[in-house]
């Protein structure tokens, strides 16, 4: 049976559901003797907002003003020991959502669910803000948000060099990325623990930039040397995630080349996976005494700026070689590009192999050269960011993957 509900009725039902949802949460909290507006009040406020919206904007503004006056009166009669404005603001939002449901029921309902979750999580959020988050973490979080939300939109995106490769917006994105990855690792440590938190963070960060992830976890090792083993595991999983992302990129450019190069790709990834799992195994019980404290920093901005500067230098070198050598320098340019971005370099090699610029066998060795350049760049980043012990272990893992990839070319 086909049930067709008139859009107006559907909008009113959404408003009714919004009022009931928020009202139930407030009703349960009112049972503790702290609140004046419960389920009935919120339901009526949502329906009032819906009706007023249908009557027109003047009626809606009058209704909103009346609800505001009632909420203020309720606040004035509230208990002195609980002077918060959460209940009054929730009542106003319920009224607004009732009106919004007449125009966009889906958005209004989604916002109502979010508000209900925030209201229900009052104690947890208070504990998070007052006990779990340190002053340094708040400062670093504000710095990261400022860098991403305030500075980044203002940075010009036009190239500033003769070759058109240096864009300040892209470089600043890298700075923000390194800081964010280091912050994710910090949060993962606080939530999951040293053994699993960093490797999980590394794997997901690798889909964005494995080089930046290795730099971010190197910062973590600088701050807390006891976390070196799980940080190395995180670096291996970051490189593995980057390789997994490379597979669909090559498949898009040349499915035939992907089938040809699959053995060396699998060999490279298998060694990275084994390295990450070994890091997990030997990090058991490691770093429990080195969990972040109130004095711990989520990231080091100067390290992120240095990382972006190194990438800018490589971009300039790559562009200069391309300009001087022309098409004959395509492979060299791809290898240099791999110092920064493995996926673009791999796609370039696949494209050259598919176009017949050189044989399939030569393309496989060219891809190995791209891997070699990537191993060199990531190893250097690991040494610079995390010091010799961290850099040595990351370098050994990446070099082992490179050797396995070369053996796969010879054997297959």
Q: What is the pLDDT of residues 299-324, one digit of tens each?
A: 778 777 876 786 677 667 766 776 77
The reply to whether 236 and 88 lie within a common domain is no
CB 146: neighbour CB atoms within 10 A? 11
Count CA atoms closer than 13 A to 170's CA, side-chain side.
12
Residue 47 belongs to some domain of the structure: yes
Closest to 76 measured CA to CA, from 87, 90, 65, 62: 87
Report residue 123 as tokens: 């104690």
Cα–Cα distances (Å) from 87 to 27, 37, 173, 288, 323, in that order, read 11, 7, 40, 41, 65
Cα–Cα distances (Å) from 379 to 11, 177, 279, 385, in that order, read 58, 19, 17, 10
The reply to whether 30 and 151 lie within a common domain is no
Q: How many independent structural domains does the chain possess?
A: 2
Higher-confidence residue of 40 and 85: namely 40
Tens digits of residue pLDDT in 63-74: 888 888 887 776
Across residues 232-257, what is the average pLDDT?
Answer: 83
- Domain housing 207: 133-411
Q: Which of 128, 157, 175 is the last residue of a domain?
A: 128
Across residues 201-230, what is the average pLDDT?
Answer: 81
Distance of CA 229 to the CA centre of its chain: 23
The reply to whether 324 and 371 lie within a common domain is yes
Local structure of 266: helix, strand or coil = helix
Q: Which of 128, 146, 166 is the last residue of a domain?
A: 128
The reply to whether 168 and 110 lie within a common domain is no
The reply to whether 144 and 94 lie within a common domain is no
Q: Which of 109, 128, 147 is the last residue of a domain?
A: 128
pLDDT tier for residue 223 given thresholds of 50, 70 and 90: confident
Residue 238 belongs to some domain of the structure: yes
CB 36: neighbour CB atoms within 10 A? 18
pLDDT tier for residue 106 given thresholds of 50, 70 and 90: confident
Residue 88 belongs to some domain of the structure: yes
Q: Give 167's strand partners.
A: 159
For the chain, counts of helices (H) and of strands (E): 15, 0
pTM for the full predicted model: 0.56
Of 22-31, 268-277, 320-329, 375-384, the range with the lowest mean pLDDT is 320-329
Residue 2 belongs to some domain of the structure: no
Residue 100 belongs to some domain of the structure: yes
The reply to whether 248 and 282 lie within a common domain is yes
The reply to whether 293 and 236 lie within a common domain is yes
The answer to whether the beta carbons of residues 179 and 345 sit under 8 Å apart is no
The reply to whether 69 and 29 lie within a common domain is yes
The reply to whether 162 and 220 lie within a common domain is yes
Residue 363 belongs to some domain of the structure: yes
The reply to whether 67 and 208 lie within a common domain is no
Closest to 232 measured CA to CA, from 218, 245, 243, 212: 218
Residues in the chain: 412
Place of tokens 């010879």: 410
Residue 1 belongs to some domain of the structure: no
The reply to whether 123 and 138 lie within a common domain is no
Residue 27 belongs to some domain of the structure: yes
The reply to whether 194 and 63 lie within a common domain is no
Q: What is the mean pLDDT of the chain?
A: 78
């Amino acid at each position: 049976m086909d049930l067709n509900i008139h859009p107006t009725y559907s909008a009113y039902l959404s408003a009714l559901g919004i009022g009931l949802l928020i009202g139930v949460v407030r009703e349960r909290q009112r049972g503790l003797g702290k609140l004046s507006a419960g389920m009935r009040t919120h339901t009526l406020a949502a329906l009032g907002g819906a009706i007023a919206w249908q009557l027109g904007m003047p009626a809606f503004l009058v209704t909103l003003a009346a609800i505001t006056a009632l909420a203020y009166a309720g606040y004035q009669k509230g208990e002195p020991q609980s002077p918060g404005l959460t209940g009054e603001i929730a009542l106003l939002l319920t009224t607004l959502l009732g009106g919004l449901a007449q125009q966009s029921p889906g958005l209004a309902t989604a916002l109502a669910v979010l508000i209900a979750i925030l209201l229900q999580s009052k104690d947890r959020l208070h504990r998070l803000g007052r006990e779990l988050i340190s002053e340094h973490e708040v400062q670093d979080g504000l710095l990261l948000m400022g860098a991403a939300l305030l500075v980044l939109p203002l940075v010009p995106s036009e190239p500033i060099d003769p070759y058109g490769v240096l864009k300040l917006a892209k470089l600043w994105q890298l700075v923000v990325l390194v800081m964010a990855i280091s912050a994710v690792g910090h949060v993962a440590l606080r939530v999951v623990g040293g053994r699993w938190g960093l490797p999980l963070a590394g794997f997901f960060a690798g889909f964005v930039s494995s080089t930046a992830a290795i730099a971010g976890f190197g910062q973590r090792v600088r701050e807390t040397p006891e976390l070196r083993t799980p940080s190395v595991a995180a670096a291996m999983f970051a490189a593995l995630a980057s390789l997994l992302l490379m597979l669909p990129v090559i498949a898009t450019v040349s499915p035939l080349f992907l089938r040809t190069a699959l053995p060396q790709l699998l060999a490279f990834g298998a060694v990275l996976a084994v390295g990450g799992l070994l890091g997990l195994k030997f990090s058991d019980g490691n770093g429990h005494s080195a969990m972040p404290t109130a004095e711990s920093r989520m990231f080091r901005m100067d390290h992120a700026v240095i990382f972006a500067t190194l990438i800018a230098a490589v971009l300039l070198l790559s562009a200069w070689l391309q300009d001087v050598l022309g098409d004959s320098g395509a492979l060299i340019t791809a290898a240099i590009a791999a110092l920064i971005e493995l996926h673009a370099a791999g796609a370039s090699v696949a494209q050259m192999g598919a176009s017949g610029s050189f044989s399939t066998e030569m393309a496989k060795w060219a891809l190995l050269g791209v891997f070699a350049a990537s191993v060199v760049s990531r190893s250097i980043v690991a040494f610079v960011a995390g010091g010799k012990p961290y850099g040595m272990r990351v370098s050994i893992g990446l070099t082992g993957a490179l050797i396995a990839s070369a053996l796969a070319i010879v054997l297959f």
